[in-house]
Chains A and B, each alone.
Chain A
Amino acid sequence: MNALLHQIFSGLAMGGVYAILALALVMIYQATQLVNFAQGEMAMFSTYIAWELVDSGMPYWAAFALTIALSFIGGMAIERLVIRPFANAPVLTIVIVFIGLLLIFNSVAGWRYSYTIKTFDSPFPGRPWFGNKYMSAHESGAILVTFAVLALVYAFFRFTPLGLAMRAAAQNPVSSRLVGIRVGRMLAIGWGLAAAIGAVAGMMAAPVVYLDPNMMSGILLYAFAGAVLGGIDNPWGAALGGFMVGVFENLAGAYVVGPEIKLSVALVIIVGVLVVRPSGLFGRTLVTRV
């Protein structure tokens, strides 16, 4: 029983990481109906920046904040420079561009920081919190950070004029432009936010999976699974999906398929959900007019 609870709780902690990354995916999906295949590698690159800052002697939380700010700027720059010219291109073209971004980030990280695995310290060291014997301090902290990110994102979209403008631009670009919202800028901010949120996911995952250029490929897959499971056009569904995938993956890895082929769990979830219920648990079913 203890072992089972332990598995569930550490699944929740990793699920938080998937939830944050799934949220980043949804952020871009809602505005452009595209899934960013480079999201994981962007997060990985942000994590390396954080590592470099901490390594140069900066206190952790300062590095954390600076990394998020840099990632935001980087995400906006990518949207402006790389993605914008393909705004009206067919799906295949854009998928190819995303794959190009993925390869570039991966190899630039390998070139700049080498392929050797690095350790990344957790900001939550020491003994477990609240006498919770099932979770390490980092796991509790990661879940806390996840909830903080979710609350901030919710507050941003619910209570700020900019958040409202972004929602409007995503929902109806033409009318938004007519009432004076700069839709292009909203898209760029959306990419910036996605990159910043992804950076948090990377920094929470790195103490667990260690830092190397390929650290996010598995995590991105689980985030995909979470987003698809919860409904890729619903941020809260996607976040919940991320948590569910985390727990499910951990239990399956411990008791059903063994840890060596855990990734196929994500494959099964993605294909299964897309076949049985493409809109996910909480997504809207889109109706296309032919």
Chain B
Amino acid sequence: MESAIEKPSAIRVAPIEAAAPQRWRALAFGLFGVVALGLPFVASGYHLFQFSQVLIYAIALLGLNLLTGYNGQISLGHGAFYAIGGYASAILINKFGVPYGATIPVAGLVCFGAGFLFGLPALRLGGLYLALATFALAVATPQLLNFKGFDAWTGGSQGLQLGKPHAPLGLPLTPDQWLYFLCLAVAALMFWAAINLVRGRVGRAIVAIRDHPIAAETMGVNISFTKAMCFGISALYAGVAGALGSIVVGFVSPDSFGLFLSLSFLVGIVVGGLASISGVLFGALFIEFVPNYSDQLSDLFGESAKALPGAIYGALLIGLMYVAPTGVAGAIRTATALLTRLSQRTKRG
């Protein structure tokens, strides 16, 4: 075997049986549904835009978490697939006049192809080497988008401008509200698909490959196919998110898809919790609002406030690895398990 094949790399994730009891979960889900549906009628304008962005990030993080958290393949370059999705959608709308709704699945499929193709060589690169290759992808992405040969399509460093879509069918919604609901619908669909994927046979195979590739292969799991597929699906999620992102922002340019975006995604899944579906929502909230709030601190810190998000991200990445490698989702799981145990004890006593 080649050197690039890694040892079984179990990552630290919270045990599944520590999950919250059914009742609490239903309660949390209902509460989330009410907040998510009510938000557009409370928040307005820019804030609503931010929450649309949170949903978009959540979709991208979900994809990255499927790959890194569940399958154990490290990707530091998911910003590249987000960029491909964003550009696919923007080019279709801007150059070919495709209705924007139809570009989302197309962007997803394009990214699925790109991810699957990148996943094939990635099969031979375990752990560290995959991190290296995807890191290179992340660094090279803005330059590739800037490439003169594609200028006619990508608009070069100027990027592409898109109009803001209005609510269809005469729905009484502002464009911001409509876009939020569009993001919410797509996100709900993607979450539903991810939950089903993870709970099913394929999901168990994906996790088995992470935990013990050799044992998984002995049990009849087709490792190379499953891994490449997982890479493709993960890229599909990032692509759908990228497409939604360019529709909501109304603009794409190479500079918005740099290394920092890819590293933000990594921060998001680590903060939310590796191998957790609901955790990505916390991660998405985090990577949307932390840079925003640190921008507002620029009165306090002056020009150096620009450095704040990076510093917070970096300190959190290392700090979380020390104290809470399972992220917010893991902390919630531990807390609810503790509470249930306590309540059971009081009932008995």
Chain A interface residues toward B at CB < 8 A: 33-35, 37, 82, 85-86, 89-93, 95-97, 99-108, 110-112, 114-115, 217-218, 221, 224-225, 228, 258, 260-264, 266-267, 270-271, 274-275, 278-279, 283-288, 290
A263: chain B residues at CB < 8 Å are 139-140, 143
Q: Which residues of B contact A112 (CB under 8 A)?
A: 304
Inter-chain CA distance A226–B219, complex, in Å, is 39
Output the least CB separation between B95 and chain A (Å).
21
A108 and B128 form a contact (CB under 8 A): no
Q: Which secondary structure dominates where chain B touches chain A?
A: helix
Closest-CB distance, B256 to chain A (whole angstroms): 16
What CA separation (Å) do A267 and B118 show in the bound complex? 12
Which of chain B's residues has its CB closest to A277's CB?
B2
Any chain A CB within 8 A of the CB of B53?
no
A90 touches B12 (CB 8 A): yes
CA of A289 to CA of B68 in the docked complex: distance in angstroms?
A: 25
Q: Is the beta-carbon distance between B3 and A217 smaller than 8 angstroms?
A: no
**Chain A binding surface SS class:** helix
Q: How many residues of B contact A (CB 8 A)?
A: 57
With both chains docked as a complex, state the minimum distance between the C-beta of A187 and any C-beta of chain B, in angstroms.
17
Are the CB atoms of B11 and A221 closer together than 8 Å?
Answer: no
Provide the residues of chain B in CB contact with A92, threshold 8 Å: 9, 11, 68, 72, 74, 127, 274
A269 to chain B, nearest CB (A): 9
Q: Which residue of A lies closest to B322 (CB)?
A: A85
What is the minimal beta-carbon distance from B124 to any residue of chain A, in angstroms? 6
**Interface contact A108-B136, CB-CB below 8 Å:** no
Specify which of A33, A101, A224 is in contact with B136 (CB 8 Å cutoff). Answer: A224
Q: A241–B29 Cα gap in the complex (Å)? A: 54
Contacting residues, chain A, for B266 (C-beta < 8 A) = 96, 99
Complex A-B, nearest 8 residue pairs according to Cβ-Cβ distance, in ascending order: A103-B314, A107-B310, A100-B317, A286-B3, A104-B314, A107-B307, A111-B307, A278-B4
Write out the residue numbers on chain A whose beta carbons fall within 8 Å of the beta carbon of B6: 91
Q: Are B133 and A271 in contact (CB under 8 A)?
A: yes
Contact status B124-A274, CB under 8 Å: yes
Stretch at the interface among B56-64, B144-152, B158-166, B331-339: B144-152
From B1, B121, B270, give the contact of A275 (CB < 8 A). B121
Give A267 Cβ to nearest chain B Cβ, in Å: 4
> Which residues on A sit within 8 Å (CB–CB) of B125?
274-275, 278
B76 at the interface (CB under 8 A from A): yes
Distance A79 CA – B77 CA, assembled complex (angstroms): 26
Selected from A95, A96, A104, A274, the residue in CB contact (under 8 A) with B315 is A104
Q: How far is the CA of A179 from the CA of B26 in the complex (A)?
A: 60
Interchain CB contact under 8 A, A266 and B140: yes
Given the known interface contacts A91-B6, A111-B304, A271-B136, the answer about A103 and B310 at a Cβ–Cβ threshold of 8 Å is yes
B306 contacts A115, C-beta separation under 8 Å:
yes
Known A-B contacts: A33-B128, A103-B317, A114-B304. Give 6 more (CB < 8 A). A91-B6, A100-B315, A110-B304, A110-B310, A267-B136, A290-B214
| Contact of A93 with B317 in the complex, beta carbons under 8 Å | no
With the chains together, A274 CA to B128 CA distance in Å?
11
Return 19 A-B CB contacts under 8 Å, by A number: A35-B128, A99-B76, A100-B318, A103-B263, A104-B314, A104-B315, A106-B310, A110-B310, A112-B304, A114-B303, A221-B135, A224-B135, A260-B148, A264-B140, A267-B136, A271-B121, A271-B136, A285-B2, A288-B7
Select from chain A the residue with minimum beta-carbon distance to B313.
Answer: A103
Residue of A nearest to B72 (CB): A92
Contact (Cβ within 8 A) B3 A93: no
A101-B144 in contact (CB<8A): no
Known: A92-B9, A100-B318. A264 touches B310 (CB 8 A): no
Q: Which chain B positions have C-beta within 8 A of A90? A: 9-12
- Give CA–CA (A109, B91) in the complex, Å: 37
Cα A106 to Cα B304 with chains together (Å) = 12
Among A264, A270, A287, contact of B143 (Cβ-Cβ < 8 Å): A264
Residues of A within 8 A of B76 (CB): 37, 95, 99
